[in-house]
Chain A
């Protein structure tokens, strides 16, 4: 399997990958608490971006409401823990199931009724908004007042209940990204991956060679939703509080797509690179401004908006493809 994974990838890229992995493994030891939180954000958005990428980058469907799946995953696992004491890894199963169902619902609406392009994007926004307002009134999850998870002491790290020091979350997310990476690569090289590429390129032509485009588009949406649900579970147990206003917010959805957009849609490294660039630069900017006594709410997002604008205008395919060719790493694309 290692052979299959690394086929066609230039030597340099593999070395770089190894080096990056090593760096990320030891980073928490060197980083202070503040940097650690930034790193966790990077990993979170890197992972969510990867999951989103499966839908957009591979199957060509632009989802602007991915926060829906984060929220559903977070609330499912969170509520199960609060009401029944069910641990997050068990809760994850339910979270994934519910998010997958939601994805299937959105996909079915869209694909059966031929809703595509801008209409599909608007549909995804509307469904996420529907969930936001809906959860505001759902008493089982404490509505707009917010769902609070009981916080334990950080005396020791309880992996099973995901209670503990942020470092634990860091490594969990890192492992998740690594797995998502491998899974994406395997998928792309499989029959399913090839069919997704065909659908993305030309759906009509794909049908003419026998591809059941409805099925494969549904698959992309459901897999993407299910993967995103995991991010939601982490979100719930890391922040320990959930508000529909924040979790299902359209801004959250947009933040998820910023990484892949800036880094490169449809590539494996893109979402990670994008998340890294955006978060680290934004935090640096904010810290800089704080140093000179300027505290502007919204400066982070303003920065994201400007970055997105620049990338869309100047490098629409993202930063990663450009870097990859520069460094002779091309081929790590697929």
Chain B
């Protein structure tokens, strides 16, 4: 409208900035302490954050499966039991896996790289595009997951995923955790520990386990926050997406590969 309204009030801005900084400095220690036992989320998620990870494959240890075991424990996947009558081989092909270790070797140089592979939480997920009911969806904060209330078990998302990140539950689930409901006939994949996200915990099970094992290969955090650990790590390292030619803008990035 008028010129006066459009002009920025510099003095006001700097006052607010200083006040905010002072408040943050006062409150911050308390906030960090409280994250572990934080309250459940009261308001809807927004796209002000985007959760993602940076995985440094140079730090990923050969033979270590700490992230896999932690994920299994966190999400009730270690409660899966081979159905009576199934062979070990079939069970190995049919059991749900949310994160796995992959070891690759370069055909020319022979260099071996270890890395965990999981749902990449793409910004343009093919699995979300193909789901007929919209059960496979991207949450506002970037987490790509399956709404198991709507999933009809058609497995089209599994066909569409360029990372083969999804699993189909092939048998009745006898034991499950309250935080991660899972049952026969639906499709599932890594949800960046969404129950932890919604209860205010700082990180995912895999990232915590990797840190606890001393490798610190997985850094999790808010990609939209320039001050977060993951953003700083990405600024410091050269990272890439797996299958970047598909232009999916994944939330999970890899370095040293």
Are these two chains actual partners, yes or no?
A: no
Q: Which residues of A contact B (CB under 8 A)?
A: none
